[in-house]
């Protein structure tokens, strides 16, 4: 693999996008257009349709930073209405993360947080990045810094039902510690996944709380779109990056702050695999050409501290109706055949 992007641009970025996002946009040929539309689609308030979506969801994804500045992606669950929006700058979330989820250990007023509202049944999703203003008993409030929508691409349609009370997510569950070399159980979950969630943070994530930027996003593909290999006794996850909205929020963050967190959900059992580690954007090389639909790759190396939480999610989903865009994408099994034939 070649051309790992790790640098940043030196010119002053426009308000909507930081230098890492600009760098990816420039390479993709979308910089001029994004400079024009960025401030129109990324707002400092939530439109009514975003607020409406948040308040009807049974789950919300959250991205946060622990005391070491490491990003984590987390899942919050509740009966629809557990997310309230008293005004267009505020969300109030009445839910707790899983007991073993790192968010349960560092949720505090003043911290930056990224939120993703995603309705799997309709493929609707919206993002709200901000900071926590208040934390109470099983409830916390978030003030918006950035609000924007996302397209429905690569989302697998799933219908949900509650198999237990929402508050049971915060009860103790069996937890297996994960290291830099993933366990067989964690590896199997990743290799079977068609969906993951990724948390990242901007370069300012070491400064004051209002200047830190955290984001959480969705990635989808055919089962087998995430490869797990072993290099020097460590696991490496390789994820293709398909055509998207050209904002490059996640990859732009990683370009200038190579830390990330991944969350995998077993939609049948309710198991959660939460990982943190380092990531890099791969811009060219034979593996990109061999993987159908890939425009870039994301390499992720987990650090010690990951957790496989058994049966934590009190939701159960139907079998997926795969996104139509997946017909234009491949799997690593197919890519390996193409590489061997090249």
| pLDDT tens-digit readout, 136-193 | 999 999 999 999 999 999 999 999 999 999 999 999 999 999 999 999 999 999 999 9
In a domain, 3, yes or no: no
10 Å CB burial of residue 278 (0-12, 13-18, 19+) is: middle
The mean pLDDT of 274-283, rounded to a whole number, is 97
- The answer as to whether 7 is a domain residue is no
pTM over 0.75: yes
Nearest alpha-carbon partner for 101 in 148, 197, 169: 169
In a domain, 2, yes or no: no
Whether residue 118 is contained in a domain is answered as: yes
Kindly report, residue by residue over 71-91, the tens digit of the pLDDT: 999 999 999 999 999 999 999
6 pLDDT tier (thresholds 50, 70, 90): very low
What pLDDT does 210 receive?
40
Domain that holds residue 147: 13-341
Distances (CA, A) of 109 to 90, 113, 130, 131: 14, 10, 12, 8
203 domain residue, yes or no: yes
Which SS3 state, helix, strand or coil, does residue 71 take? strand
Answer yes or no: is 1 within a domain.
Answer: no
Residue 5 lies in a domain: no
Q: What is the pLDDT of residue 209?
A: 40
Count structural domains, the chain. Answer: 1
Query: Confidence band (pLDDT; 50, 70, 90) for 238?
Result: very high
Angstrom distances, CA of residue 267 to CA of 158, 189, 291, 319: 9, 10, 26, 9
pLDDT of residue 208: 43
Say if residue 160 is exposed, middle or buried (CB neighbours under 10 Å; 0-12, 13-18, 19+).
middle
Tell me whether residue 4 is in a domain.
no
CATH number at residue 248: 2.30.110.10
105 pLDDT tier (thresholds 50, 70, 90):
very high
């Amino acid at each position: 693999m070649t051309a790992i992007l790790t640098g940043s641009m030196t010119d002053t970025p426009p308000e909507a996008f930081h230098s890492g996002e600009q760098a990816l946009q420039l390479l993709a040929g979308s910089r001029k257009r994004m400079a024009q539309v960025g401030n129109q689609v990324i707002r400092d308030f939530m439109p009514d349709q975003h607020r409406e979506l948040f308040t009807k969801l049974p789950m919300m994804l959250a991205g946060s930073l622990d005391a070491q500045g490491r990003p984590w992606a987390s899942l919050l669950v509740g009966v629809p209405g557990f997310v309230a929006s008293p005004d267009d700058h505020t969300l109030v979330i009445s839910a707790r993360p899983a007991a073993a989820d790192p968010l349960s250990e560092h949720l505090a007023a003043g911290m930056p947080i990224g939120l993703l509202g995603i309705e799997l049944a309709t493929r609707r999703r919206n993002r709200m990045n901000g900071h926590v203003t208040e934390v109470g008993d099983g409830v916390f409030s978030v003030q918006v810094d950035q609000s924007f929508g996302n397209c429905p691409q690569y989302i697998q349609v799933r219908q949900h039902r509650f198999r237990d009370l929402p508050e049971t997510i915060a009860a103790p569950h069996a937890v297996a510690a994960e290291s830099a070399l993933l366990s067989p159980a964690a590896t199997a979950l990743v290799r079977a996944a068609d969906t993951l969630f990724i948390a990242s943070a901007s370069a300012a994530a070491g400064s004051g709380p209002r200047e830190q930027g955290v984001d959480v996003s969705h990635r989808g593909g055919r089962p087998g779109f995430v490869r797990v290999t072993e290099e020097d006794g460590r696991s490496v996850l390789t994820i293709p990056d398909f055509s998207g909205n050209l904002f490059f929020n996640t990859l732009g963050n990683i370009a200038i702050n190579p830390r990330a967190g991944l969350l995998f959900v077993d939609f049948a059992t309710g198991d959660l695999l939460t990982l943190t580690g380092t990531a890099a954007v791969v811009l060219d090389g034979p593996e990109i050409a061999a993987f159908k639909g890939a425009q870039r790759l994301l390499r992720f190396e987990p650090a010690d501290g990951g957790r496989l939480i058994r049966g934590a999610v009190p939701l159960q989903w139907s079998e997926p109706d795969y996104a139509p865009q997946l017909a234009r994408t491949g799997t690593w099994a197919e890519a390996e055949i193409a590489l061997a034939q090249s």
